[in-house]
């Protein structure tokens, strides 16, 4: 029988161990651009990258791959999309949140700005103009295969017609997509949870600490669920004491009429709905305090002020933490190394990458390049 | 031109089997996703632990996989890049992509790659190959040997010399010329067998053209194209 030969071929091909500069260059380009390096009449990226690796400059080789449009159009876009919806899936349309993160990476803006900057990226040449009330601008840009590497255009979020005032904008946290996904309905707790998951790599379960004072736990949390106050003290407090104390930051925001609305000095009604315990904390302004700054969750490495007012200050606090840098390094590691940092070497590598990320003034593109060199080029040597 | 149905069925069956074997021989533990996320995907809450794994699922899940599979968009763009076909300008091709998009991988986690996804990859590859073969300029670019031979009977188009050139050009175009010498030898031999089977002892132009498309489809839907 001849057929078994074909089976062997593809099995062999697919399980082959790549090694050497040429193979590393091939893998590097595939991982970073999502497509293999294609030789054209004027360029041979594989040869160029191979030569750079041989010359001891793998970072420049990786930069060749990151200069490919699909680094933004395909790889980064699908990496960021899960941050912008509740399902955490990449099966979603391009939106202002994703576009802004891509723009920040492309322009090498400090990545901390993602959480607090007066910044928004639109897509030049999109068939439809930007709107605060729908996502058509980005949907159409994606459908028309717009080259995001070229067409992303930086704007001031507060300068957009009908936009939020400058003191109310806070990077992607106040984009329309964030509004639709995280501020709609509910009690405005969702947005903070997703911020912790997306930017500190910690869900609340990992932050559970029942020793935190519960003075900021809101009135809609029962103090004796099921008739047993022990449940509240041993479970509910673990998350609510911390998250409700931070939740004030979102007190003036709501997603209504298809857009994120900011109502200065007026706490949105849903923040104080459902009074199950009248002596509980009532939100009266956008003041917040980080109760997790001490105790078990001091491990997140909080730096600077741990209390403030509004989303911008909160975003700045999140971005200053060491957990932010480590989380970003871990996410990039997962993106380009295709595994979780579990073993000792990988954990150490992520730690080093996070430190370098801070030294590089939070340059996300450099972090991606450094990580890909570390786990593709260096491991293949 | 229509491909012989029997041969098409044969190719598809082989590709399915190949996809399964090719995919699940990457130290890929079965059921890994059911017990947690061990790599490749984007879960953001992993906390390293010093605790020893207690059951088989945990042990399997801790196996490190350093190979990934391309997601739906990466597969589309990769096929477009290696064939030269402008997918976004080809309504029929994009129609097929939209049909199979949800069946293609969502992320790069190879541990959850399924036979259904390989079927979708094969279907998309078939569309790219039809578009590639139908476009003289692109076809000539990928297979210079077919400039003079695409409309020849298979006896001429795939004589020993032409067949060897055709196979090497296919490998170079789709697999990028990064195969080791050993892999290259094996690939040449196996694609040679596939050529013979697709020609099926016919000496016609029809056989030539279906062989071009068939080999294209096999190479384009292979792991070398879809793995990261």
- Could you tell me which residues come within 8 angstroms of residue A122 by beta carbon, excluding any fewer than 6 positions away? A96, A99, A130, A137, A152, A153, A155
Least confident window among A18-32, A142-156, A285-299, B75-89: A18-32
ipTM attached to this prediction: 0.91
Chain A residues with CB under 8 Å of B44 CB are 197-198, 201, 327, 330-331
Chain A residues with CB under 8 Å of B141 CB are none
Mean pLDDT in residue range A233-250: 97
Q: How does residue A321 score in pLDDT terms, banded at 50, 70 and 90?
A: very high
Name the residue in chain B with its Cα closest to that of A145: B88
Using one digit for the tens of pLDDT, what is the confidence trace for A44-87? Answer: 999 999 999 999 999 999 999 999 999 999 999 999 999 999 99
Gap between the Cα atoms of A213 and A217, Å rounded: 9
Smallest CA-to-CA distance from A362 within A311, A327, A336 is with A327
pLDDT at residue B47 greater than cutoff 70:
no
Q: How does residue A331 score in pLDDT terms, banded at 50, 70 and 90?
A: very high
Q: What is the pLDDT of residue B65?
A: 79
Is A19 or A258 the better-scoring residue by pLDDT? Answer: A258
Whether residue A106 contacts residue A149, with contact meaning beta carbons closer than 8 Å, is answered with: yes
Whether residue A257 contacts residue A203, with contact meaning beta carbons closer than 8 Å, is answered with: no
Mean pLDDT in residue range B123-138: 98
Name the residue in chain B with its Cα closest to that of A5: B190
Name the residue in chain B with its Cα closest to that of A329: B44
Q: What is the pLDDT of residue A379?
A: 73
Question: Around Cβ B45, how many Cβ atoms within 10 Å?
Answer: 15
pLDDT at residue B46 greater than cutoff 50:
no
Task: Verify whether the Cβ–Cβ distance A6 to B14 is below 8 Å.
Answer: yes
| Distance of residue B1 Cα from the nearest chain A Cα, in angstroms | 25
pLDDT at residue B8 greater than cutoff 60:
no
pTM (2 decimals)? Answer: 0.87
Q: What is the pLDDT of residue B5?
A: 62
- Could you tell me which residues come within 8 angstroms of residue A117 by beta carbon, excluding any fewer than 6 positions away? A104, A109, A169, A170, A171
Cβ-nearest to B187 among A9, A201, A206: A9
Using one digit for the tens of pLDDT, what is the confidence trace for A159-198? Answer: 998 889 999 999 999 999 999 999 999 999 999 999 999 9
Rounded percentage of chain A residues whose pLDDT exceeds 70: 94
Q: What is the pLDDT of residue A378?
A: 82
Task: Verify whether the Cβ–Cβ distance A34 to B224 is below 8 Å.
Answer: no
Chain A interface disruption, residue of B9, B38, B40, B45, most A CBs within 10 A = B45
Is A6 or B84 the better-scoring residue by pLDDT? Answer: B84
pLDDT at residue A380 greater than cutoff 80:
no
> Does the beta carbon of A159 lie under 8 angstroms from any beta carbon of chain B?
no
């Amino acid at each position: 029988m001849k057929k078994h030969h074909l089976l062997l071929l593809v099995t062999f091909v697919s399980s082959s161990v790549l090694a050497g500069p040429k193979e590393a260059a091939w893998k590097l380009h595939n991982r970073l651009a999502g497509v293999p390096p294609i030789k054209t009449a004027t360029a041979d990226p594989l040869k160029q990258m191979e030569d750079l690796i041989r010359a001891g400059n793998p970072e420049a080789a990786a930069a060749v791959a990151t200069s490919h449009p699909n680094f933004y159009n395909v790889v980064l876009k699908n990496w960021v999309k899960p941050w912008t919806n509740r399902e955490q899936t990449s099966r979603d349309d391009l939106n202002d949140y994703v576009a802004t993160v891509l723009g920040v990476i492309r322009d090498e803006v400090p990545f901390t700005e993602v959480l607090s900057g007066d910044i928004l990226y639109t897509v030049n040449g999109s068939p439809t103009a930007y709107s605060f009330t729908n996502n058509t601008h980005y949907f159409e840009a994606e459908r028309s295969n717009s080259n995001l590497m070229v067409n992303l255009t930086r704007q001031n979020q507060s300068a957009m017609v009908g936009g939020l005032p400058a003191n109310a904008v806070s990077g992607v946290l106040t984009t329309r997509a964030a509004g639709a996904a995280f501020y709609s309905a509910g009690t405005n707790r969702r947005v903070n949870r997703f911020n912790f998951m997306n930017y500190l790599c910690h869900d609340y379960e990992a932050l559970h600490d029942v020793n935190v004072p519960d003075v900021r736990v809101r009135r809609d949390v029962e103090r004796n669920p099921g008739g047993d106050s022990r449940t509240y003290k041993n479970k509910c407090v673990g998350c609510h004491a911390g998250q409700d104390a931070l939740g004030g930051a979102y007190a003036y925001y709501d997603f209504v009429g298809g857009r994120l609305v900011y109502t200065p000095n007026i706490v949105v009604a849903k923040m104080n709905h459902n009074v199950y315990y009248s002596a509980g904390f009532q939100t009266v302004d956008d003041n917040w305090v980080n109760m997790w700054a001490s105790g078990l969750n001091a491990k997140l490495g909080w730096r600077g002020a741990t209390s403030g007012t509004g989303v911008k200050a909160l975003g700045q606090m999140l971005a200053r933490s060491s957990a932010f840098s480590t989380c970003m390094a871990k996410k990039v590691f997962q993106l380009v190394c295709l595994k979780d940092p579990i073993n000792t070497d990988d954990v150490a590598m992520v730690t080093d990458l996070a430190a370098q990320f801070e030294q590089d003034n939070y340059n996300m593109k450099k972090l991606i390049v450094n990580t890909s060199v570390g786990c593709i080029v260096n491991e293949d040597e | 031109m229509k491909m012989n149905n029997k041969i098409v069925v044969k190719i598809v069956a082989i590709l399915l089997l190949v996809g399964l074997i090719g995919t699940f021989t990457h130290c890929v533990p079965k059921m890994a996703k059911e017990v947690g996320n061990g790599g490749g995907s984007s879960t953001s809450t992993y906390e390293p632990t010093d605790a020893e794994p207690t059951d088989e699922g945990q042990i399997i899940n801790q196996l490190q996989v350093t190979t990934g599979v391309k997601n739906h968009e990466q597969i589309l763009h990769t096929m477009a890049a290696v064939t030269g076909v402008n997918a976004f300008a080809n309504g029929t091709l994009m129609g097929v992509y939209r049909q199979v998009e949800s069946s293609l991988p969502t992320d790069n986690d190879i541990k959850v790659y399924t036979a259904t996804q390989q079927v979708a990859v094969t279907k998309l590859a078939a569309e790219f190959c039809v578009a590639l073969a139908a476009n003289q300029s692109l076809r000539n670019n990928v297979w210079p040997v077919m400039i003079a031979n695409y409309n020849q009977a298979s006896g001429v188009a795939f004589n020993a010399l032409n067949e060897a050139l055709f196979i090497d050009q296919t490998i170079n175009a789709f697999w990028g010329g990064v195969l080791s010498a050993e892999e290259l030898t094996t690939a040449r031999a196996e694609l040679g067998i596939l050529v013979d089977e697709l020609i099926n002892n016919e000496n016609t132009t029809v056989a030539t053209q279906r062989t071009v498309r068939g080999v294209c489809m096999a190479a384009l839907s292979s792991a070398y194209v879809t793995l990261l």
